[in-house]
Amino acid sequence: MNEETKERPVDALGNPIYSVPEGNLDELRVRIEKLNKRARKLNLAGIAVTEVGEEFVTKVEEVQDAFGRNTGQTIELKFRFVKVTVVGETPRENGWDFAATVQHDEGGNILAVSPKFSLSLPVQYRTAETLCEHCHTNRRRNDTYVLYHSETGAWKQVGRNCLADFLRTTNPEAIATYAELLQALNDDLERGFGGGGLGGGKQYFGTHALLSQVAALIRVDGWCSRTEARADYEGRKQATVDAALRFFDATAKLAPEYREARVVTGQDKENAAAAIAWAQALEPAEGNDYLWNIHVASNREQVDYRAAGLVGSIVSAYNRELERELAKKYERENSLNEHFGTVGQREVFTLTVRGIRSIEGKFGPVTIYKFRDGEGRTAVWFASADQGWELDQTVVVTATVKDHTSYKEWAQTNLTRVALYVEKPAKAPRKRKVAAPVAEAVLA
């Protein structure tokens, strides 16, 4: 063992701790599997890597324009390094179905249920510790797995290493060979996995910064989920979260006018902060794993691509909640199920915004505003551009009544050519011309 190895930090059991670029972890696991094949032939315990910590490295890059030229602007890119120790693997527990992955976070657990698993997970896994119920150890783990035994109805939480496909054994005669395998892994870590470069590591994004950009995009383009984008076979739609992530890519070829129109404003930052605070205060009911997941994710200060889709949806979920709260408020107030205004005439109306929706129209994004007048009657306007109005904001507008329709048996007045009302200044009274006096004749 060389001097460099001796100076390495170790854990409580004396295992050396390495700092590995996150992008190299898959390659490291492949190398470990090759070593474990040798260990199995020798009837030895397998070798695995256990994650015991993390650190982030910040890299500053120039932002490029659509032609690949530097713009003079910079963005900070964050990369994660994982601190790992070399440990022995534990055996796999056979006969259990894979139900879910529990992603452990300081704010709680995110539950990724297997698509083929139809039962609801017990609520206890929302706050379960990183305990492996098979090897009965509780140490730092990013993920644990929930297993279900269909015959007995039993649940079990198992750590990553306990999913290995062989049993741990002790073989005193092979201690020397086992030490050689550990040293071989140590050499691999020293040469290829713990270098000073970023190693193709994953990029991370500040949660508030990401949600602020999402809020800016919703303000301009409306919300588009990844599910909706995938269903668009013409390829015209892009998920809002994916569009936001491009603003954190220094090499993304974004047209200057596109980027400038979606610059984050102070209001966007406030909306993002409000959405995060709402998600952090959630207490979801049993069975609503989505709200639980965004509650947990909202407590992260930074997220990777894996969690960006979930975290990015918080603003949209918050906006829907605001609309539901307004709907409840209006239900308690007087409402009239009748039309107002005269079709074809342009009039002045005082309206309160009670709903905002964005859809993809034939000629681009359309913002649908739903209003309530002072009598509780409903009006709708399909706007070609976002007006910057907020929910529960009262505006005085001039508008033409397009027609009177109904939606779900409720009278709906459809408006067009809506604009903020500007009172014209009163005209000054016209001065009357006074005829010049006629000179009286002077008598001689």
The model's pLDDT over 356-396, given as tens digits with 9 standing for 90+, comes to 877 766 666 788 898 989 888 999 999 887 787 888 889 99
In Å, how far are 52, 102, 137, 270, 349 from 141, measured between CA atoms? 7, 10, 11, 34, 59
Res 89: pLDDT: 43
Query: How many percent of the chain have pLDDT more than 70?
Result: 70
| Domains of the chain, first to last | 90-165 (no CATH), 203-326 (no CATH), 346-420 (2.40.50.140)
Res 395: pLDDT: 93
Residue 161 pLDDT exceeds 70: no
Q: CA 426 from chain center: how many Å?
A: 52
Q: What is the mean pLDDT of residues 204-228?
A: 88
Overall size of the chain counted in residues? 444
In Å, how far are 101, 128, 212 from 145, measured between CA atoms? 5, 11, 33
Higher local confidence (pLDDT), 443 or 218 = 218
Residue 81 pLDDT exceeds 50: yes
Res 20: pLDDT: 79
Q: What is the mean pLDDT of residues 201-216?
A: 87
Residue 171 pLDDT exceeds 60: no
Structural contact between residues 20 and 84, judged by C-beta atoms closer than 8 angstroms: yes
Entry pTM: 0.55
Res 175: pLDDT: 36
Residue 44 pLDDT exceeds 70: no
What is the CA angle 327-330-332, rounded to 5?
A: 115
Confidence of residue 302 (pLDDT cuts 50, 70, 90): confident
Q: What is the mean pLDDT of residues 73-92?
A: 67
What value does the mean pLDDT of the chain take?
A: 76
Burial class (CB in 10 A: 0-12, 13-18, 19+), 80: buried
Res 140: pLDDT: 81
